[in-house]
Amino acid sequence: MNRKPLACSRPLKFTAASLSLGWALSAFALSTATIIPSTLSPDCLEYRVVGICYWLYCSLGGCTVRTSVKVRHYIPDAVVSSYTNTGANPWIEVAPMSVSNPTAQAGGDGTSNHDNENNLAKFKNADVIGHPGGAVFSRFASQSGYTCEGAGIAFMPYLLSTLDTVAWRYNVPEAVYPESLIPGMREIGSRASVNLWGSVYPRGGFLHQVDDYKSGAVVAQRAADIVTRRGQIHVYHPLLANARDGYWPAGDLVENDASTGKWQELAPTLSATCAVFPNSDAHVQATEGDYAWALWRPYACCQRRGQVFLGSVDFM
């Protein structure tokens, strides 16, 4: 398997003006300096007032019912990288987290060695790392009103496929799961619409897909599917928060369903918008097979205004 060098960083200036220029660039190296400004996206934020919360407030003068606004918006919890060669995460600063080890080396595509045939199989590593733009995002989102807290911790490694060798490289035990064996179960896209990108299961690095961009997207969805659930047979840390009074965190990520999470492309191009896979946007193939997306997840919350939470009413 071939290995490739990391490209040099081209950080964007931290201003909204240069961010808009950066969105027009393609095929630049991914660094923390380029990721942080990407949180300034109203389309991905999708801030909404969705209901009213009721609180019982008691003092020496008696008890009253107070209300607060219930809001819902998306938060960039993590950066999910999907890349060909082990140790070559396109996000430069975190690449040392997932270097080769005795059980996880090399990478790339299988081939029949005939130039007139498509590659037989593709392999992608995947890393899920806490999004570094939390502080900037909070200031940006707070301009819309009260904001919720996400589950992601900056630079926290939630999944590194190099440490998940048995499941990621050998598909053990998910190769025999019904989702892996029965066509139509847990698929990204649809066979009926002739827009099938791939299957979520088995949630490993190998798949058959001639389009490299779609391969990267499917593997990113697989990695995110793992970390947004508890008790999976993988080496990972759950990217989940616990519900509490007046706080409704994101749950399981489900393919094709924007209400559970959506993706903002970071590499090979930096996008100002979010979408779910499959999407109809123009797809730029990464020359080195390295891709990265920000995973935005939906949260709802309301400001505490009493000692006891009485419930909430949604407008829709």
Q: How far apart are CA 22 and CA 11, in angstroms?
A: 9
64 CB contacts (<8 Å, ≥6 apart)? Answer: 56, 57, 58
Torsional class of 218: left (φ above 0), alpha (ψ -120 to 50), beta (otherwise): alpha
First to last CA, the chain: 53
Check whether the bond before 202 is cis (ω within 30° of 0): yes
Range of 252's domain? 16-46+74-299
pLDDT over 70 at 191, yes or no? yes
Total domain count, the chain: 1
- Residue 252 is which amino acid? D
What is the model's pLDDT at position 93?
96
What number of other Cβ atoms are within 10 A of residue 235's Cβ? 16
Nearest 5°: CA angle at 204, between 203 and 208? 100
Its pTM stands at: 0.87
And the tokens for 194?
Answer: 């002739």
- Domain assignment present for residue 192? The answer is yes
Instruction: State the average pLDDT over residues 277-300.
Output: 92
User: pLDDT tens digits for 63-91?
Assistant: 999 999 999 999 999 999 999 999 999 99
- Domain assignment present for residue 59? The answer is no
- Domain assignment present for residue 249? The answer is yes
User: pLDDT tens digits for 203-249?
Assistant: 999 999 989 999 999 999 999 999 999 999 999 999 999 999 999 99
Q: How far apart are CA 152 and CA 237, in angstroms?
A: 11
What is the model's pLDDT at position 190?
86
- Domain assignment present for residue 60? The answer is no
What is the model's pLDDT at position 235?
97
Quote the strand ranges of 91-228, DSSP E.
108-110, 121-123, 125-130, 157-160, 187-188, 198-199, 206-207
* Contacts within 8 Å (CB) and 24+ apart, 11-19: 12/37, 16/40, 19/272
- Domain assignment present for residue 305? The answer is no
What confidence tier does 119 reach under pLDDT thresholds 50, 70, 90? low
- Domain assignment present for residue 32? The answer is yes
- Domain assignment present for residue 67? The answer is no
Q: How far apart are CA 157 and CA 239, in angstroms?
A: 10
- Domain assignment present for residue 155? The answer is yes
Count Cα neighbours of 152 within 13 Å in the Cβ-side half-sphere. 30
Measured torsion, CA atoms of residues 39, 293, 129, 153, in degrees rounded to the nearest 10: 30
